Structure 1
């Protein structure tokens, strides 16, 4: 029942976590997709593709006059291409006639040229460059762009985009106050992104340090690569590049992007292998990893656009293939596999929506499409983090089960070792105690003219041997649970009289007894206890001494009991050790001259417990005293 409750609680918690991830994704999309063009100063946009990339600004202006431009939306989505793309925008001046800022995104574009009319020379154009291959002093903190001076009621500008990355282009004209608010908003989003990555890194470190999880190590690698590429793709590297070395920032950004894709494929490969996915699916991921290595080689050979295009297609392939591979998972708990499968489908959907514009297969008027490479990183981190959490929890539960199984196995081994030790001790005891009396009995019985005393001694020896065997049989019955008390009316004084009449030397026993009531107990077990106590006193007392017995009614713990006391002066064996007296196989070092098993007192103490009684030992005035309490 407890296990079922825990299972239901785990399923409920995982369901909540999945819903939380969905909510975070919704909030993320809402933030990125918020309408950023409500106060945009751009009044019109038109676009033209230059397949050869050879047109100059005069050619572009002539193409506008010839009607070769097409009306464009807020975002240009053209995928990977060798072509150049011309964007013609018309900007109205700010209401106060002050400066404005032309914001260009995303920041990973190689080169964007701005052509503004030269007010001193009509018909000519002033060129300004930006991009991650250029150091631009007035570049905004979180985007590309320029500070602009308004010229007239409306001004036309041309922008030329040519890049090895995906040709995504969003251009806004904002007042300085709007630009600062936009910067603040982006800084907040970037901090939130890094906060998510840090939280996921803590989870990965827990799995790596606490469980030595290989998946956690791969996820930590992915987080490092993704965070580094995030910083590069947002243009932060450009602020640290010395003048004339901006191209190295572009190359480093491409390397980080390619490596982040490689680490993502590596994560899914490790995850699917952990859940025993199909061999074909794992081989497909192996091929994707090989392509990632090939991409790095293409980048080194100067084929950056081809490498980035292949990398984007790998991400799309992963988005399409991962859900199918998830269906083939056979390892791990079924509930865990089901939740992981849902998370994989969730990420696949997010990747398709975010990556299709990068390869030119989906256009959009929503601004977050421009930041798809950035937003898909946090989506991937959240989903991978949830998968890692499930895997870590599964590994933790498996380790706990293994530790429990190990503890149980260790306990079983200890119990088996203890049984083997007890069996060895039993055999040693039996061999030691029976070997001498058997030899003595054989010697007497082999004598043709053995005296009557010798024969009586032999018979006594055989009786001792029989007593040892009987103790062993009774112990076996006790440990097998066969000594179940059968309560019936009985009188302890009558049982004691019968026991004394059958003992070896009843004349040595002095008995004093009070009138006792009939009690409800087990006659057979009581007789075993009494006979053992009397036999023990006779065997280990001083030769010819008197054994004193008392039988009386006495209260114990507020309830009436029949109390039987037997004490004797010690013989050659001396007084026993009170701490070990009732241990199995215990015999005093000086008691081995007598035939015995070391089981009698151990046996009768447990029998007394079965009868709800109590058997105790205490030395009193150099006499060995045993006291038996039986409920009246």
Structure 2
């Protein structure tokens, strides 16, 4: 693990800093805090300075900071560049002793609020070109910025400084190449699936790419001289926008796992705070906005998302274990300086790039796993749909075949039955034998009619023709046409007319009375009642057909209304 991170840092040049390679010509550094920013250069030269390391970091403050540099002359008399980073400092002013200048001091100024065309050399890093005299020369730098007062300065021979600029360009090419590849994948995946989470990832990548270009100084060459202050505002907006876009993406992702409402409320508050910070920057108050944003980035954001990751209550794609692992890996780079794997100075200079690459890569892995899983589920759903369509087509074919069979069966059975009925009538048979034959023919006819009606019902071809009718008349007809009318006892109260299909109602009640007669105890009565009743806030007629169970016993309640 340690080797992997060291390799990553080497790729970004953290192990290739000029100071580490012995090219820095700075002999000593010291700093002075000017709270009111009112000290003149003559007063500063007489003040007491405090020793300083390569990196001056004083947080967000309105105070002015002075840096005193003792620079030795190069061996070959080359020009020296006071190379200053980061590139988003508002104003850095150089004071060098010059007897020919008014007051004895020559001054120059650079920063992201000043025109790129006025810099000592055409480079994205801030720098002053000087010619230190042997054995050493003292220079003063005055730093005033609305952002964090953090300054790293080194004195390099011009040829060495050019090589370091080429290294930075190489690092930037690697960074942009990876981020643009992630962006192209995310755009393609969003175009394919229209997943909102991937859409937020696209937005986050875009903001982080422009944020990197801004803080590394690559926007300055494209701005006209009079628009240099605008570049400073754009950089501040992108610093806040990078955090805001990341929070929007993570909120969209974490919602899949049902996190605690309280933690999501805190996240929504932070999103609202970022929107207020953007408004403050646009309104001309960048320092408090950037200070609040930095506090969220350093303290609140890592702690909140670790708490969210370990309190998720629902599984999703990818699993909670994978999500927690990646979130832990995403916060791990913040402890690299504590582990001694990289010094704090160089980490500060490259942390944004390393963290951007690492977090972007981890989120890509999460979304790639999610995309592949959803793709597999989509393919399975498509296959299931295709199988269901095939089954539906087969079922429809079978029903059509069944319908044709029922038409043929009805024709083939009813014709012989009519012949038998005519033959019985011609023979003028009477008595129980004739009644038994008529009842058998009627049963056969009922079976054919029921099969035909069931087929029409299953194929949704049964036409219902409602019309006004009376229930007592229908029950009387059922009793008269029954083959055991003496066993049917009807009990009805005065009932209103009903609007239904009388033929279908007769069929339903006829089936029930026929079954009651068949399966009731021999010679027992069948009771049919019809009463006016309210059920589920609606009025209607309740029909009851009651019989005593015969030798077959009571039917299975779960299967009494099944087809077979």
TM-score normalised by length of structure 2: 0.70
Three-state SS of the structure 2 residue aligned to 1:236 is coil
* Structural mapping, 1:115-514, within 5 Å: 115-120=95-100, 124-135=104-115, 136-316=118-298, 317-333=300-316, 336-350=319-333, 365-448=344-427
Paired residue secondary structure (2:219): helix
How far did residue 243 of structure 1 move? 2.4
1:425: how far off? 3.2
The answer for the alignment partner of 1:607 in structure 2 is none
C-alpha distance in 2, partners of 1:256/1:366? 23
**SS in structure 1 at match of 2:37:** coil
Conserved? CA contact 1:115–1:125, under 8 Å = yes
Q: CA contact under 8 A between 2:57 and 2:151: conserved in structure 1?
A: yes
Hey, what's the Cα distance between the residues in 1 that align with 2:410 and 2:425? 22
Q: Distance in 1 between matches of 2:135 and 2:18?
A: 23
For residues 421-476 of structure 1, the C-alpha deviation after alignment (integer angstroms, 9 at most, x for no partner) is 344333323222211111112221232269xxxxxxx9xxx9xx9xxx9xx9xxxx
Is 1:57 aligned with 2:37?
no
How many angstroms apart in 2 are the aligned matches of 1:277 and 1:422?
55
**CA deviation digits over 1:51-70, x for unaligned, max 9?**
22222222221113xxxx22
* Secondary structure at the counterpart of residue 12 of structure 2: helix
| Partners of 1:432 and 1:351 in 2: CA distance | 87
Q: 1:283 to 1:88 in 2, by over 3 A?
A: same
* 2:108 partner SS: strand
Provide closer, same or farther for how the CA distance between residues 351 and 217 of structure 1 changes in structure 2, counting only shifts above 3 A: farther
Instruction: Give the 3 Å change call, closer, same or farther, for CA 229–424 of structure 1 in structure 2.
Output: same
Measured on the aligned residues, the alpha-carbon RMSD in Å equals 3.0
Unpaired segments of 5 or more residues in structure 2?
A: 430-436, 452-564
Q: Encode CA deviations 1:151-197: one digit per residue, 9 max, x unaligned.
A: 23101111111111112211011112211110110000111111011
Judging changes above 3 Å, is the alpha-carbon distance between structure 1 residues 40 and 256 closer, same or farther for their aligned structure 2 residues? same
Deviation at 1:105, TM superposition (A): 0.2
SS in 2 for 1:43: strand
The answer to whether the 8 Å contact 2:12/2:354 transfers is no
User: Partners of 2:198 and 2:251 in 1: how far apart?
Assistant: 13
CA distance in 2, matches of 1:267, 1:349: 20
The change in CA–CA distance for 1:400 and 1:203 in structure 2 (over 3 A counts) is: same
Deviation at 1:242, TM superposition (A): 2.3
Residues 353, 254 of structure 1: CA spacing in aligned structure 2 closer, same or farther, 3 A cutoff? farther
Distance 1:48 1:229 in 2: 31
Deviation at 1:274, TM superposition (A): 2.8
The answer for the alignment partner of 2:78 in structure 1 is 98
Number of aligned residues: 427
In the aligned structure 2, how far is the partner of 1:401 from the partner of 1:49? 67
Bigger Cα displacement from structure 2, 199-208 vs 379-388: 379-388
Q: What is the Cα deviation at residue 26 of structure 1?
A: 4.7
TM normalised by structure 1 equals: 0.63
5+ long unaligned stretches in structure 1:
1-18, 357-362, 451-457, 473-632
SS at match of 1:244: helix
Compared with structure 1, are the counterparts of its residues 226 and 187 closer, same or farther at alpha carbon in structure 2 (3 Å cutoff)? Answer: same
Structure with max Cα Rg = 1
Q: In the TM superposition, what is the alpha-carbon distance from 1:224 to its structure 2 partner?
A: 1.3
